[in-house]
Chain A
């Protein structure tokens, strides 16, 4: 029997977005990444080619994050004390891109300062040639206070500034426009809220080829099913031609999974949880692959071993299979 594979016909596509700028484009990055451009549900090669592979980023911090899992701190060792050294180590560990996430306070508990943030960002740019995302600590006012000077200091590098929510998007968009950067907006797991936020960002003046969206996810066991479904719904909406849902999606998988008990804690847990390190890495890997299958364009991880395993899956998914 001759079979005709059931192809969906889509009218829309995901917006293509370039992150990072090389010397030719007025920046200093050694490489750039391009995400988006999909015209099918994830990796359905028999409908159309997937133009860009999902990008795997590693998250680093401006100050040693003592609240992180000991597994992560042990892995990074000394490098975690210094953002420049950490950036270099993360690049060597195989990341496509780096997320510098700024802390709420310094190690002594004093509020983080614009000077410190700027210094950290510069150190990262100097020691690594990778494209960069920079996220504030997640409190609208402090985010603005820290990210504006960082944006100025990184002018021309096509950095992604985050995270825009409805409270702080204006300032971030304005500084992104002034300095040639991009933004990422985060809405709480809801197609319409993601859409609305994109409309606000666009109306504030940023072209859509400089906007990413973070639909929010939960970790495996802590709400991943909501993240999975909202991403599938956003991707379907984008392909059906709903323009304000067509931004590439970036998700903070490492942030979510490494705060779960399964990853954070090695002692006094049920015996059936097995080996701590392997469990934690699997937790991050399973979460990442699940969301990539749902349409994630950028996955931000914390452990290089997870990155290696996710990369192996992506390398294969991105190539068109022979379908006899």
Chain B
């Protein structure tokens, strides 16, 4: 529950000693309530008060951490319903499902392939986060499946099954890790809670209805396990959207603690691979913390991982690259000079094309405040003056033995002004889309 300035004040020493930099304890309390200062700025709070204040400032959606040998995933800690209100913080983890009824050798092969999948998007390597191992009943088979997964990947795991004893056999293979296990329900939760506590695991909790789920999580918390994940038993788009929205709204707007946990979604249950992609799309846009997939296909996973990247970008800061001159394919002084902006998506679209064309070139990345070509142009951050300034600032002339520069086709209108700003230069207009750059470069070379 959000706590008021008065409530905080009651917990402070009330000596008005000013060590925190504020004239009175009350002034400090008000700033603290507004989350503009940290409690640690007051050196005199008692430990008891600290504990109370920490509990009251608990994040509305608990941060859940999964760890394995070498990797770590953090999910939760979200504070808004809509990304424009602030940002979404921790990207949902993508996990691929394997069943212990599959042949262990086949499991290892499949896991290896998925584990090795890496796709680069605007300079960021995108990959899956881990694997979910599902038990179909037998403890030995489950342990073998967990081992088979571990033979193919070191990423964090989710262990799923109905029987805590079977899961224990799998957990025995994951010494020193912090996995997510499940699924606890109103009947079996005590055994699951014990197992999670003993193994430092987080626990997926489910129930037949949201009401029962709200009854269940506080019981498990009282037992001493706070790292919970909610499975609202989604079957389709419509109930998924409704349930995720209810859970997230109650956690954030109502500070309803029983729902203050990340959500796990199972697009893996979809009837077809196409429907699975569509459900995963909804899960990423609408509040899932863990996304469990079954069908691995690079062509669809790439899109989903890009979507996750996009939706979890901080709306206040576009992803940018450093302005400057980038040398691609070891250019010599006679190589062409091209100009673009420092918006990451723009830079990488262009740089990747030049690189794959095999043609050497200099790419002048102008300081356009991290905006795309047309956005920056429309906003006045990418005009002839700016380009000419950056040509000088980054010493383009010293690197080349010619005086010509290629503009993006979308800003052909700049060529006249740029001729004036860069007297004696030849201004060329390149294609509009970077896809057409390799062909263009071949032609001008």
Interface residues of A (CB under 8 A from B): 1-3, 5-6, 41-46, 188, 220-225, 228-229, 232-233, 236, 259, 261-262, 264-265, 268, 270-276, 278-279, 282-283, 285-286, 289-290, 293-294, 309-310, 312-313, 316-324
Known contacts A279-B300, A289-B281; A1/B435 CB under 8 A: no
- Taken together as a complex, chains A and B put the C-alpha atoms of A320 and B239 apart, in Å, by 8
Residues on A with beta carbons closer than 8 Å to the beta carbon of B281: 285-286, 289-290, 293
Known contacts A44-B245, A286-B281; A272/B238 CB under 8 A: no
20 new A-B pairs (CB below 8 Å) besides A43-B238, A275-B299? A3-B250, A46-B242, A221-B121, A221-B306, A264-B435, A270-B120, A274-B299, A274-B301, A274-B302, A275-B298, A278-B297, A278-B299, A279-B300, A279-B302, A282-B277, A286-B304, A312-B278, A321-B236, A323-B210, A323-B242
Nearest CB of B to A161, in Å: 24
Residues on A with beta carbons closer than 8 Å to the beta carbon of B237: 313, 316-317
Known contacts A1-B211, A224-B307; A316/B238 CB under 8 A: yes
Known contacts A312-B278, A317-B237; A222/B315 CB under 8 A: no
- Taken together as a complex, chains A and B put the C-alpha atoms of A176 and B73 apart, in Å, by 55
- Taken together as a complex, chains A and B put the C-alpha atoms of A236 and B239 apart, in Å, by 22
Residue contacts A-B, CB under 8 angstroms, 19 given = A6-B249, A6-B254, A46-B246, A225-B313, A236-B82, A270-B119, A272-B117, A272-B118, A274-B299, A274-B300, A278-B297, A278-B299, A279-B300, A282-B300, A285-B278, A289-B278, A309-B278, A319-B238, A323-B209
Residues on A with beta carbons closer than 8 Å to the beta carbon of B315: 225, 229
> Is B208 interfacial (CB-CB < 8 Å)?
yes
Nearest CB of B to A296, in Å: 12
Known contacts A261-B349, A270-B120; A286/B286 CB under 8 A: no
Nearest CB of A to B420, in Å: 26
- Taken together as a complex, chains A and B put the C-alpha atoms of A323 and B235 apart, in Å, by 11
Residues on B with beta carbons closer than 8 Å to the beta carbon of A321: 236, 238-239, 242
Nearest CB of B to A222, in Å: 6
Q: Mark B70-104, 1 if CB is under 8 A from A, else 0.
A: 00000000000011100000000000000000000
> Is B53 interfacial (CB-CB < 8 Å)?
no
> Is B165 interfacial (CB-CB < 8 Å)?
no
- Among A221, A282, A317, the residue within 8 A (CB) of B299 is A282
CB contacts under 8 Å to A, within B405-422, are none
> Is B243 interfacial (CB-CB < 8 Å)?
yes
> Is B19 interfacial (CB-CB < 8 Å)?
no
Chain B interface mostly: helix
> Is B400 interfacial (CB-CB < 8 Å)?
no
Known contacts A225-B310, A273-B302, A312-B275; A265/B238 CB under 8 A: no
Residues on B with beta carbons closer than 8 Å to the beta carbon of A264: 435
CB contacts under 8 Å to A, within B233-267, are 236-239, 241-243, 245-246, 249-250, 253-254, 258
Residues on B with beta carbons closer than 8 Å to the beta carbon of A273: 119, 298-299, 302
| B84 & A232 in contact (Cβ 8 Å cutoff) | yes
| B310 & A220 in contact (Cβ 8 Å cutoff) | yes
| B298 & A274 in contact (Cβ 8 Å cutoff) | yes
CB contacts under 8 Å to A, within B278-308, are 278, 281-282, 285-286, 297-304, 306-307
Nearest CB of B to A69, in Å: 11
Interface centre among A236, A264, A278 (most CB of B within 10 A): A278
- Among B208, B277, B299, the residue within 8 A (CB) of A324 is B208
| A220 & B275 in contact (Cβ 8 Å cutoff) | no
- Taken together as a complex, chains A and B put the C-alpha atoms of A318 and B310 apart, in Å, by 26
Nearest CB of B to A152, in Å: 33
- Taken together as a complex, chains A and B put the C-alpha atoms of A41 and B82 apart, in Å, by 11
With CB as the reference atom, state the residue of chain A lying closest to B209. Answer: A324
| A221 & B253 in contact (Cβ 8 Å cutoff) | no
Residues on A with beta carbons closer than 8 Å to the beta carbon of B249: 6
> Is B356 interfacial (CB-CB < 8 Å)?
yes
- Taken together as a complex, chains A and B put the C-alpha atoms of A268 and B358 apart, in Å, by 12
Nearest CB of B to A230, in Å: 8
Known contacts A285-B278, A312-B275; A320/B302 CB under 8 A: no
| B274 & A6 in contact (Cβ 8 Å cutoff) | no
> Is B334 interfacial (CB-CB < 8 Å)?
no
Known contacts A273-B302, A285-B278, A313-B278; A222/B345 CB under 8 A: yes
Known contacts A225-B311, A278-B297; A3/B214 CB under 8 A: yes
- Taken together as a complex, chains A and B put the C-alpha atoms of A46 and B249 apart, in Å, by 13
| B298 & A272 in contact (Cβ 8 Å cutoff) | yes
| B119 & A261 in contact (Cβ 8 Å cutoff) | no
Residues on A with beta carbons closer than 8 Å to the beta carbon of B268: none
CB contacts under 8 Å to A, within B189-238, are 208-211, 214-215, 236-238
| B241 & A43 in contact (Cβ 8 Å cutoff) | yes
- Taken together as a complex, chains A and B put the C-alpha atoms of A228 and B345 apart, in Å, by 17
Known contacts A274-B298, A275-B299, A290-B285; A224/B243 CB under 8 A: no
| A223 & B372 in contact (Cβ 8 Å cutoff) | yes
With CB as the reference atom, state the residue of chain A lying closest to B298. Answer: A274
With CB as the reference atom, state the residue of chain A lying closest to B349. Answer: A261
Residues on B with beta carbons closer than 8 Å to the beta carbon of A312: 274-275, 278
> Is B69 interfacial (CB-CB < 8 Å)?
no
Residues on A with beta carbons closer than 8 Å to the beta carbon of B444: none
Those 6 A-B pairs whose CB atoms lie nearest each other, nearest first = A274-B299, A274-B298, A321-B239, A279-B299, A321-B238, A324-B209
- Taken together as a complex, chains A and B put the C-alpha atoms of A60 and B274 apart, in Å, by 25
> Is B109 interfacial (CB-CB < 8 Å)?
no
> Is B433 interfacial (CB-CB < 8 Å)?
yes
Residues on A with beta carbons closer than 8 Å to the beta carbon of B285: 228, 290, 293-294
Residues on A with beta carbons closer than 8 Å to the beta carbon of B435: 261, 264-265
Known contacts A264-B435, A282-B277; A323/B239 CB under 8 A: yes
- Taken together as a complex, chains A and B put the C-alpha atoms of A294 and B307 apart, in Å, by 14
Residues on B with beta carbons closer than 8 Å to the beta carbon of A271: 298
With CB as the reference atom, state the residue of chain B lying closest to A316. Answer: B237
Nearest CB of A to B93, in Å: 18
With CB as the reference atom, state the residue of chain B lying closest to A290. Answer: B285
Nearest CB of A to B185, in Å: 14
